[in-house]
Each structure stands twice: as C-alpha cells, then as structure tokens.
C-alpha cells in the first residue's frame, strides 16, 4: 500500500499520470509496468512522504518530477525490482528522502543528481557505494543548496573510491563552507586550509600502508595475466594479456581506465633515486618493506607519489606511498 499522500496525488492527476506512462511506453518498449508500479511503491512513495512532511505545498510538483524520472529510470532498466544494480533503488528509498527540503524546491535537479551519481558510482569497479550513501546521509542536514549538494556528492564520491575524481573533488570542496567541507572529509575539528593543502600535496594522506589492487580474471579480478606496470603523471599504465589500462590510485581507492599500447610504450620506466630493490626487500628512503614475493623477477615503477610493485608470480599490483 502506498501512503495516503501519494495515493491522493495519483488519484487527482490520474489522466495525466496515465498519459505520461503511455508516452513512456512508446519511448521504452521494454518498460515493465509491473516493475514501474513496484518502484512507485518502494522508491517514490518515501520521497513523497518526506516532501509532504517538509513542504506540503510543494509535494505535487516534486511528485510529478519523481514520477517522470521513475518512468525513465525503469524504462532504462536502471530502477525497480529487475534493476541490474539495486543501489539506485536504495538511494531513492533511503537517501533522497533525507534531502526533502531541497527536493521540495528543486526536485528535478536533486533527484537527477542523486540518481546519476548513484548509477555512476555503482558502475565504478572498486568504488564503495554504501560509503558514499552513508557520507551523504551524514551531511544531509547541513546541505542547504543544490550547489552544495553537487560539491558534497563529488567529494564523497572521491572518498568512496572514485580515485580519478581527486583533483576535481578538492576543487569542489573549496566551494563549500569550511564546516561542510570538513564534515565531508570527516574531520570536523580541523582547519580547512591546512587539510586542503595536505590533501593537495599528498594523495596518500591518511593511508601510509598503500593498497593492493587487482587479481586474476578467472576469479573475478581485473587481469588475465600478471600485469606489467609503467608510470605516468596520472597513475600507472598497466599491460596484461595484450590489454592496456590506466590505473589511478590514491588513499581513497584505485580505479582502472582503458589505455592504449601507445600510452604504455610512452610511459615512464625510470625510478627515483630514493627507491631501491634488494632481493625481495624494497627500500623507499629510510623505509624498508619486505615483500612476500620471490626475489629476482620483481618489477618496480614509480611516479611522483606512488611506487607500484609487480611480479610474474601474482596478478596483484602493490601500491606504496612514496612519502
């Protein structure tokens, strides 16, 4: 059963809502009306209830926007019970209602941004959608405008593992009130200028151990054969089984993008003087890290911030901060 508020809006605009559904069925021949009905119940109804509580006078407009968007998302197979990734359903059901005051004033922008962001994050291998959702929910009471919602979403997407958003997210954070920016970074007691400077200088701030990335495709990983790595300014160009990737990694996560053989050929094979390999131990400045890899075939690649370690005996790439 849907809420009385939603039922009343649907009943009052029945012809209009039916016409919109019929039009959507033309545009999306595969639109499953049963799935759409289920999404209205699970995804749209909580929104309508939240907006009705926050701004009853605007609930009609918000409902219409949500209804149209729901048709499009279900039509694309992105929402509803048969959605390939259920994260969008979760965002509509649990996260969007927390932005009810904003939804009431700018329903298309808010729902559109949340929906697109949910689809994007869910599609990035290695990203942590649940963390993004939790972060957004935590700062929701402080978000007062669509612009702030946009910037906060970007910052939290980076922090949830979308590593290649780092510079853009830091620029977006600068547009936020310092308190909100610090809240987005989970450091409410700090000073924003210092935090910002440290984040700019060190992509591995807050993660001294680095991370391990990749595994065998046969076990659901990324690489068909043990990868070979070369460094670029953006990250590392990886070659594995005649395929090439760009690996972008920092303290928040690691993401693979497609790359070309030409990029691999042109990537850097040099090594900073502070890095030295001694058997199965790698020395970075004064630090010595013993590797659990057979000595002899270990390969190193480094850019300004990160050391990548590979071996023909593993499908994983070890990423260590140089700082």
Partner 1 sequence: MSPFNLFQRISQAPTKPKSAPVARQFDVADLYQGPIALGAEGETQARPFDEKLRQAYFWIVNHAIISPHYDIEYNDGPSQTYSVGDSRRTLNLPSAQSYSSFILLPLLTFATRRKCLFVGGPGRGKTASALLMGVLAGSTVKEVKRAMQHGHPQMTVADLLGNPLPADLVNAQSMDDIRIAWRAWLGMRVKIVDEYNRIPTRTQSALLTVMGDNYAEVLNHIYECPEAAWYLTANDDQGGGTYQVIEALRDRVDVTVQALAFNPRFLNELLLRVEENVRPEELVPPDIIFTESEVDQIGEAIRQVGIPDAVRRRLEFFASQFELFETAGGQFEYMTKDTARLAGADRGQAQAADNGRDRLKDLGCQTLNGISVRTLMALMIYAKAMAYFRGNGEVELEDLRQVLPFVLHNKLQPDPDAPFFALPENAAYRSDRLGWLRRLFDLSNDEFNRLDLDRDDPVGVLSAEFDLGLDGVSERETLARLNRIEKLIGERTKGRKLYGPLYDDLLKLKYLHQRYTNYRSWLRSQ
Q: Smallest distance from the beta carbon of 72 to partner 1, in angstroms?
A: 6
Cβ distance to partner 1 smaller for residue 46 or 153? 153
- What minimum distance in Å lies between the beta carbon of 154 and partner 1? 5
Query: Is 5 or 149 the residue whose CB approaches partner 1 more closely?
Result: 149
H/E stretch holding 320 reads: strand 317-321
> At its nearest, how many Å lie between partner 1 and the CB of residue 113?
5
Looking at the Cβ atoms of 28 and 41, the one nearer to partner 1 is 28
**Closest CB to partner 1 among residues 173, 284:** 173
Helix (H) or strand (E) holding 265: helix 261-266
Can you say how many angstroms the Cα of residue 110 is from the centroid of all Cα atoms in its chain? 17
Beta carbon nearer to partner 1, 61 or 291: 61
Which residues contact partner 1 by CB under 8 A?
22, 25-26, 29, 69, 72-73, 76, 78, 108-109, 111-113, 115-117, 119-121, 150, 153-154, 157-158, 162, 164-165, 167-169, 171-172, 232-234, 242-243, 246, 248, 257, 262-263, 266-267
Beta bridge partners of 180: none
CB of 167 to partner 1, least distance (A): 7
The SS3 call for residue 284 is strand
Which of 188, 306, 156 is closest to 318 using CA atoms? 306
From the CB of 322, what's the least distance to partner 1, in Å?
A: 21
H runs (alpha helix) in 28-177: 33-39, 45-54, 59-75, 87-90, 100-105, 107-123, 129-139, 146-159, 166-174
- Residue 282 CB, nearest approach to partner 1 (Å): 26
CB atoms within 10 A of CB 105: 16
Q: Count Cα atoms within 13 angstroms, Cβ side, for 247.
A: 35
Identify which of residues 20 and 120 has a Cβ nearer to partner 1 in the complex.
120
The CA–CA distances, whole Å, from 239 to 163, 244, 315 equal: 20, 5, 11
């Amino acid at each position: 059963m849907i809420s009385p508020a939603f039922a009343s809006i649907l009943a009052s605009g029945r012809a209009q809502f039916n016409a919109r559904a019929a039009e959507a069925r033309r545009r999306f021949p595969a639109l499953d009306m049963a799935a759409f009905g289920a999404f209205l119940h699970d995804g749209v109804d909580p929104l309508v209830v939240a907006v009705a509580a926050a701004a009853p006078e605007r609930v009609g407009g918000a409902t219409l926007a949500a209804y149209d968007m729901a048709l499009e998302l279900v039509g694309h197979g992105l929402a509803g019970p048969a959605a390939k990734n259920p994260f969008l359903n979760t965002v509509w059901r649990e996260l969007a209602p927390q932005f009810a005051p904003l939804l009431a004033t700018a329903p298309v922008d808010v729902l559109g941004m949340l929906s697109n962001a949910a689809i994007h994050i869910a599609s990035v291998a290695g990203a942590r959608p649940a963390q993004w959702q939790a972060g957004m929910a935590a700062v929701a009471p402080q978000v007062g405008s669509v612009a702030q919602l946009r910037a906060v979403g970007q910052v939290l997407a980076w922090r949830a593992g979308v590593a290649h958003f780092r510079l853009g997210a830091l620029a977006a954070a600068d547009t936020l009130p310092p308190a909100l920016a610090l809240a987005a970074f989970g450091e409410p007691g700090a000073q924003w200028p210092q935090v910002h400077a440290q984040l700019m200088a060190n992509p591995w701030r807050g993660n001294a151990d680095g991370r391990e990335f990749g595994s065998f495709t046969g076990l659901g990983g990324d690489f068909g054969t043990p990868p070979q790595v070369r460094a670029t300014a953006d990250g590392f160009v990886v070659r594995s089984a005649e395929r090439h990737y760009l690996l972008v990694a920092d303290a928040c996560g690691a993401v693979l993008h497609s790359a070309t053989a030409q990029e691999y050929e042109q990537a850097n094979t040099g090594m900073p003087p502070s890095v030295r390999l001694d058997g199965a131990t790698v020395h970075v400045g004064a630090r010595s890290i013993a590797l659990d890899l057979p000595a002899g075939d270990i390969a190193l690649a480094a850019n300004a911030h990160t050391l990548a370690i590979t071996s023909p005996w593993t499908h994983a790439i070890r990423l260590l901060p140089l700082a």
